[in-house]
Structure 1
Amino acid sequence: MASALRLGVAGLGTVGASLVRLLTKNGAALARKCGRPVVLTAVSARDRTRDRGVDLSGFTWFDDPVELARSGEIDVFVELIGGASGPAEASVRAAIASGKHVVTANKALLARHGVELAGLAERAGVSLNYEAAVAGGIPIVKTLREAMAGNSVARVYGILNGTCNYILTRMEREGLSFAECLADAQRLGYAEADPTFDIEGNDTAHKLALLTSLAFGCKISADDIYLEGITSITTADIRAADELGYRIKLLGVAQKTDSGIEQRVHPTMVPKSSAIARIDGVLNAVAVDGDFVGEIVLVGPGAGGDATASSVASDIADIARGDVAPALGSPSDELVDYTRAGMRRHEGGYYIRLSVFDRPGAFATIARAMADANISLESIVQRRAEAPGLSDRGAGEGTEPQPVILITYETTEAAVKEALEAIVARGVVADAPQMIRIEKLA
């Protein structure tokens, strides 16, 4: 058997501790599959005294992860620190410069510096592997980079954040408010004390940026993603979606068009019959449309120490076998510049919820704004049938705004926003309109 592959792990939080347990429990099996032993020799973390539930006494301890990255005691540097800069970035750069392979779970680092780091790794002849950075335990990076290498990808999309999916699932099943579900997610450890990065869509956007580069051979462009979180979703939207045959999911979508590549993260109404609609709780799912394989859907745990450590171990195994692939699927100098797609018609149409004053002419004002923007309406639903209706015939005004739902046929986002701005400007709605895209999915 070949000589051992020596690992140094920086970051001993939930994922790092799980990786230590995995290597301890399954190290012999991993060696058989790789044709050589895989051994952990050194670690680094901020606090030596913390009890992490694993025995670290047999490993060399480095207080500085950069020193670990440069150490002659390791062949592979495993970065589990996190963050787009600081110690994580410095140590990864040091490892590559020292001729060490790198395995990371750091989506933020790669979203910002991925193309540059990939180029450095290629010139140094080392691997930069990051399966754990996208969708936890789901092997989507290898699927796009290797298994689907013979396909031209038209679209990649999915549920990429378990926190948001958990919240939306609870809102639907139990009729709870967003605030109630978020508080429960924090209590259970599914959401951070400051959940902004998750619920505003940033976490999904970082992951989508990496998938876009892999799928379409372009440079990472996380700053060009249309971004919208789930904080505006209400129980009224959840109920309306259910009655209309949809479920609401936070999706990341990257799609090739005639004018470029569209990247967007936003709440989406998906048909109940679609595979993605059935993904509940903290699970993730990623779908890829290939010209030869068709659509494939991968489902699994998107976070958690054990699931993420499993993906880290798969990257380590590739290095142990001698598999060195370009980090982003193509050599970094062959990645094309990202071209943002122009505005196009959204094939699934839009759901719009308005809180409309019950006064003469209100409905005519809404209809006129839609017509002026060349928007055709598939259906109009007034939610409270028992309340006074919207009157365009001069009847007396109601005292409470009435919820009205509009479903459009396919149209452009620009047209919808133009119409909604006009409706707001004319003073016929009490609150800001709610708009959710409807996605046509198999």
Structure 2
Amino acid sequence: MDKRSLRVAVLGCGSVGSQVVRLLQEQATDLEARIGARIELVGVAVRRIDATRDVEVPDGLLTTDADGLVARDDVDLVIEVIGGIEPARSLILSALEHGASVVTANKALLAEDGPTLFEAAEKAGRDLYYEAAVAGAIPILRPLRESLAGDKVTRVLGIVNGTTNFILDKMDSSGAGFAEALEEAQELGYAEADPTADVEGFDAAAKAAILASLAFHTRVTASDVYREGISEVTAADVQSAREMNSVVKLLAICELRAVAGGDDAVAVRVHPAMIPRSHPLASVREAYNAVFVESEAAGQLMFYGPGAGGAPTASAVLGDLVTVARNHLAGTRGVGESAYADRAVLAMGETRTRYHVAIDVDDRAGVLASVALAFAEHDVSIQTVRQEGRGDDAQLVVVSHEATDAQLSATVEHLRGMDNVREVTSVMRVEGETE
């Protein structure tokens, strides 16, 4: 083997894997110049050799023996793009154990069991890079891990799922309901036939766990992330947001919160929220992603671009490949896990937020006062209230000041039990200063 070549194995040849293989072939000369060594593709593990693929894989490279491929002692780098928990976890651990560094795009695995992988990489003295796991082609993990390493990040607020952003954008721009917008997303290929992982927030929650872990130097798993999807968002919710000059987005919110004793704790949540149209994230359209970062010294930063798709994700994979390959040639390794802060993770009930509450009430004297009293009894201050009469009933739209989520939830339950409240028709969290 040429001592100035690095041998690469790819696990998976789907929408992302096929683009990785294509770019490795098309950009071979440039990659060699950037790395200082030739990249040699030595194997591509797939489930079925005869499956139709978007790229032509050179003869003899396809194999169904993924275990054997990662265990080869002549493989220097392994790229994992098969997704899921198993067999991806076992294959990555085997690759590290046998001396290969790993580049992965597996957000679900990192969010569930990242520490096991990081510890294995540390023990093996090898790299584990994963830029492609969050927000596709957008470079966000490296800035958090390296560029902002000398700063204190206080908040990461992001649109990290293109499917839900497309749906909510269509609901806002056309007045469509959720089902109609989802159907269009599926027709255009933005949503899977089973869209559960996207529309119920599981995908975004995994990404939020990874972002929070890096930003706050604390181990955060997907189970630590409060999660709500967008399937209950109605056209009326979107219209109400429009009336406040706001827009509804599914947000991943990771922030530091002061707790008793003067320490900081980590709060991580994924849910639909109203944000003012003046906020930079409000202008993120279609299936694009964006991540808004706030830190003490740098201030406010925003990262924007295509957050999914084969080619954009493959771009992030190859960016990591170049870095890992350079490290390999230099006989060093990059930054590993940083969890030294070991901050507590707040439960959602302890997290401070704001609510938009739409309430159908009897249209008679004293109702507004009784609703205001319900908020006051739970120590929730009202920021604004709007009332619209509709014959025998009326609708109150209340936006609260910040309070704990537990206080706000208790307030809503109180309202639902009141005799003069016909229905609490909408409850949604609010981020940013609405008008």
Q: Counterpart of 2:27 in 1: which secondary structure?
A: helix
Superposed, 1:208-287 pairs within 5 Å as: 208-259=208-259, 260-287=265-292
In 2, distance between residues paired with 1:202 and 1:336?
Answer: 24
Give the letter aligned to residue 289 of structure 2: N
In the alignment, what sits opposite 1:21? 22
Inter-partner Cα distance in structure 2 for 1:42 and 1:94: 16
- For the residue of structure 2 that corresponds to 1:375, the secondary structure is coil
Displacement of 1:359 in angstroms is: 6.2
**2:335 aligned partner:** 326
Indicate whether 1:340 and 2:370 are aligned. no
> How many Å apart are 1:432 and its aligned residue?
4.6
What TM-score comes out, normalization by structure 2 length? 0.92
AA in 2 matched with 1:267: P
Residues of 1 paired with 2:159 and 2:311: CA distance?
Answer: 20
Deviates further, 23-32 or 296-305? 23-32
The residue that corresponds to 1:50 in the other structure is 51
Q: CA deviation at 1:428?
A: 3.8
Aligned-partner SS, 1:48: coil
Displacement after TM superposition at 1:58 (Å): 3.0
Q: Is the 8 A contact 2:206 2:221 kept in 1?
A: no
Separation in 2, partners of 1:402, 1:190: 39
8 Å contact kept, 1:169–1:281 = yes
Q: How does 1:343-358 map to 2 (within 5 A)?
A: 346=352, 349-358=354-363
Pick one of 372, 375, 378 that aligns with 1:370.
375
Q: Provide closer, same or farther for how the CA distance between residues 152 and 341 of structure 1 changes in structure 2, counting only shifts above 3 A.
A: farther
Instruction: State the shift of 1:107 in Å.
Output: 0.5
The 5 Å alignment of 1:43-442 reads 43-84=44-85, 86-259=86-259, 260-322=265-327, 324-328=333-337, 330=338, 334=340, 336=342, 338-340=344-346, 346=352, 349-358=354-363, 362-383=367-388, 385=389, 387-388=390-391, 398=392, 402-440=394-432
Name the CA shift for 1:3/1:339 in 2 (closer, same or farther; >3 Å).
Answer: same
Distance 1:408 1:133, change over 3 A: same
Deviation larger for 99-108 or 414-423: 414-423
Contact 1:357-1:428 within 8 A present in 2 as well:
yes
The 1:64/1:325 distance shift into structure 2, 3 A limit, reads same
Aligned mates of 2:9, 2:297 — CA distance in 1 = 40
After superposition, the C-alpha distances for 1:134-185 in whole angstroms (9 at most, x for unaligned) are 1111111111111111111111111011111100100000000011001111
Amino acid at match of 2:384: S
Moved more, 63-72 or 273-282: 63-72
Give CA-to-partner distance per residue, 1:99-143, whole Å, 9 cap, x none. 111111000111111011101101101111111001111111111
- Bigger drift between 357-366 and 89-98 goes to 357-366
Amino acid at match of 2:41: L
Give the distance between the partners of 1:155 and 1:244, measured in 2 at CA: 24
Q: Measure, in 2, the Cα distance between the counterparts of 1:339 and 1:243.
A: 35
Report SS of the residue matched to 2:87: helix
Q: In the TM superposition, what whole-angstrom CA distance separates every residue of 1:303-327 from its partner, at most 9, and x where no partner exists?
A: 0000000000011000111162233
- Tell me how large the CA RMSD over aligned residues is: 2.1
Aligned residue type for 2:234 = T
CA distance in structure 1 between the aligned counterparts of 2:425 and 2:351, rounded to whole angstroms:
20
Query: Residue 191 and residue 116 in structure 1: after superposition, are their counterparts in 2 closer, same or farther (change >3 A)?
Result: same
Q: Name the TM-score, length of structure 1 as normaliser.
A: 0.90
CA deviations over 1:326-383 (Å, ceiling 9, x no partner): 333x2x6x46254326856746x32111233446764444233122223332322234
Q: Output one character per residue of 1:189-240: Cα deviation in whole Å (capped at 9) or x when no partner.
A: 1111111111111111100111111111111232121111111211111112
- 1:240 to 1:109, Cα distance in 2 relative to 1, 3 A: same
Matched residue type, 2:79: V
In 1, Cα distance between equivalents of 2:362 and 2:197: 35
CA contact (8 A) 1:318 1:324 kept: no
Q: Which residue of 1 aligns with 2:42?
A: 41
Number of equivalenced pairs: 424
Q: Give me the whole-angstrom Cα distance separating, in 1, the residues matched to 2:73 and 2:136.
A: 30
Q: Which residue of 2 aligns with 1:392?
A: none
In the alignment, the residues of structure 2 paired with residue 289 and residue 121 of structure 1 have an alpha-carbon distance, to the nearest angstrom, of: 30
- Post-superposition Cα deviations, 1:40-76, rounded to whole Å, max 9, x if no partner, equal 1101111111121322133423212222111234211
Tell whether the 8 Å contact from 1:256 to 1:262 is kept in structure 2 after alignment. yes
**1-side partners of 2:164 and 2:120: how far apart?**
35
Please give the secondary structure, in 1, of the residue aligned with 2:209: helix
Contact 1:118/1:326 (<8 A) preserved: no
Equivalent residue for 2:262? none
Q: Quick one: which amino acid aligns to residue 429 of structure 2?
A: R
One-letter amino acid of the counterpart of residue 336, structure 2:
A
Q: Which runs of 5+ in 1 are unaligned?
A: 389-397
Q: Distance in 2 between matches of 1:95 and 1:243?
A: 54
